[in-house]
């Protein structure tokens, strides 16, 4: 798993990136949950990870990648996973490991997990601190933000899934939309767009 900017450049937190018209943007936080990892041969599931919860955190090198133990005999053509935490896990309350609330991905005020978190600053934003905060989560109808991602694998073996932050930015208009902090219609729409920002290297 890796994060990139503009389809090629590795994302570096706290570094300024140039936008159009001399505007700039800086990312301070990028975290999201990858869960329920499955491998497919064409359209048939051939392997599924047990207790499949992984927190990606761009601020910690140890959380920028993780191992999945796939039997050597398994042949596969696609990888699938969920972006976020399923409803059953959400209603089970706070848990340990990558699901520990101390990881900063749990809404204590409404007992639910944040699936995706992106924060930073940009000169495009008119508020005094120039901040943007996107905390995407929600598991109850009609604001269930859980997304399924299904990707074709170019070559079996070591799989590097990329998340392109520039594609995420193309799904929003920072000048008018720079804070989503609770489950709502905008969170659902942006979660759908976020799931399309993944690719296999």
Q: Over the stretch 149-183, which tens digit does the pLDDT of each residue have?
A: 999 998 877 788 999 999 999 999 999 999 999 99
Token match 């191992």: residue?
A: 67
pTM assigned to the model: 0.94
**pLDDT value of residue 111:** 67
> What value, to the nearest 5°, has the Cα angle with vertex 14 and ends 66 and 137?
55
- Beta-bridged to residue 170, according to DSSP, are none
Identify the helix (H) or strand (E) that includes residue 165.
Answer: helix 165-169
Q: What percent of the chain has pLDDT over 70?
A: 99
> What whole-number distance in Å separates Cα of residue 99 and Cα of residue 44?
29
Cα distances (angstroms) measured from residue 43 to each of 46, 73, 77? 9, 18, 9
């Amino acid at each position: 798993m890796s994060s990139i900017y503009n389809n090629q450049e590795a994302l570096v937190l706290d570094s300024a990136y140039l936008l159009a018209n001399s505007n700039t943007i800086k990312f301070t936080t990028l975290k999201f949950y990858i869960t329920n990892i499955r491998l497919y041969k064409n359209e048939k599931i051939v392997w599924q990870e047990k207790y499949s919860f992984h927190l990606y955190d761009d601020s910690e090198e140890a959380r920028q990648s993780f191992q999945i133990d796939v039997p050597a005999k398994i042949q596969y053509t696609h990888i699938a996973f969920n972006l976020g935490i399923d409803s059953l896990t959400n209603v089970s309350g706070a848990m340990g490991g990558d699901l520990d609330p101390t990881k900063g991905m749990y809404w204590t005020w409404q007992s639910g997990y944040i699936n995706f978190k992106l924060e930073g600053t940009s000169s495009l934003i008119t508020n005094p601190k120039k901040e943007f905060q996107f905390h995407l989560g929600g598991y109850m109808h009609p604001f269930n933000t859980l997304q399924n991602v299904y990707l074709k694998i170019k070559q079996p073996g070591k799989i590097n899934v990329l998340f392109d932050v520039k594609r995420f930015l193309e799904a929003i208009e920072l000048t008018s939309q720079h804070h989503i902090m609770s489950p709502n219609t905008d969170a659902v729409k942006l979660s759908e767009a976020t799931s399309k920002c993944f690719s296999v290297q």
